[in-house]
């Protein structure tokens, strides 16, 4: 965290620190820092690592940060361990199911790469029309 604090304190990161994308989450983080850190540790859909930037930018105490990480990650892993105990998966299914999931995710990635939308398409079409005129 010390290295991150030094990096974010440099003058070159001024634009990042004051950007709206950084300031809006920082505003919400400052309202309930401890519980937002716990929530990002527990919920898999919210990334936890960007919260480290907010911790440094807000000057949150290291002890409270570590406590929130222990609560958040501890709860997450306790739920995962409980699911592992409650749902017994036969050993012969783990390999084939993992391979099928891997194959499906590779196919989905290939599909998304082939059918990727071009966010600049309207602007390019507009520029082409201007050039013709």
Per-residue pLDDT tens digits for 75-117: 999 999 999 899 887 888 888 999 999 999 999 988 888 876 6
Q: Does 99 or 125 have the greater pLDDT score?
A: 99
Spans of all domains in the chain: 2-88, 89-133
The model's pTM is 0.56
Round to whole Å and give the CA distance between 29 and 10: 22
CA nearest 76: which of 102, 108, 121, 43? 43
Most confident of 11-15, 38-42, 76-80: 76-80
Half-sphere exposure of 3 (CA within 13 A, CB side): 0
């Amino acid at each position: 965290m010390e290295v991150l604090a030094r990096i974010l304190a440099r003058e070159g990161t001024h634009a990042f620190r004051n950007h709206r994308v950084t300031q809006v989450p920082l505003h919400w983080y400052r309202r309930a820092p401890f519980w937002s850190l716990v929530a990002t540790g527990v919920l898999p859909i919210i990334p936890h690592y960007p919260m480290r930037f907010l911790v440094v930018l807000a000057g949150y105490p290291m002890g409270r940060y570590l406590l929130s990480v222990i609560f958040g990650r501890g709860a997450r892993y306790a739920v995962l361990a409980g699911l592992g105990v409650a749902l017994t998966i036969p050993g012969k299914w783990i390999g084939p199911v993992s391979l099928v999931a891997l194959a499906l995710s590779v196919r989905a990635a290939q599909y998304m790469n082939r059918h990727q939308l071009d966010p600049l398409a309207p602007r390019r079409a507009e520029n082409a029309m201007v050039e013709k005129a």
